[in-house]
Amino acid sequence: MNILIQIILIMVALEIIETNFQKAPTVGMMIDRLYGYYQKSIFLLFLIHPTFYFVLFISIATGIVNIYFIIILLLKIVDIFFKIELIKQKYIKKEVESELALLLDTPIPSFMSYLGVIMYVPLLILGLFAQ
């Protein structure tokens, strides 16, 4: 039981770290911040999403592959590639669609930054205990 608590606490800590890498007042400013990592290296952009790798590692190490782990991994993949697509449209193509331009100006409430902790940690707990 002790190892499960450690896994959960590590997940919470990694989610908070990931949130702090991406925290910004608007979606556009968050994409600007992520573009700074992207400019240095695309691999750095992938590395600032440590919870994806942690969940993948836990799934492989424990041999647990259930719907909860799959949901976490799919949401993380969609999140990462959606951000890459926004970076590509805004900085590489320099053509942002009108709908996405509205999205970039959308403010991010402070509680939304920690949505990952609220969403992914319970899914991880369910994934660890549902067998």
Encode pLDDT of 66-118 as tens digits.
999 999 999 999 999 999 999 999 898 888 888 788 888 888 888 888 898 99
Domain extent listing, the chain: 2-129
| Residue 109: predicted pLDDT | 87
Tokens standing for 126? 């369910």
Query: How many whole angstroms from its chain centre is CA 106?
Result: 18
**pLDDT at residue 130 tops 70:** yes
Q: Residue 55: pLDDT band by 50, 70, 90 thresholds?
A: very high
Helices (H) and strands (E) in the chain, counts: 7, 0
Contact 66, 55 (CB under 8 A): no
Q: Residue 119: pLDDT band by 50, 70, 90 thresholds?
A: very high
Encode pLDDT of 29-54 as tens digits.
999 999 999 999 999 999 999 999 99
Per 3-state DSSP, what percentage of the chain is helix, strand, and coil (rounded to 5)? 80, 0, 15
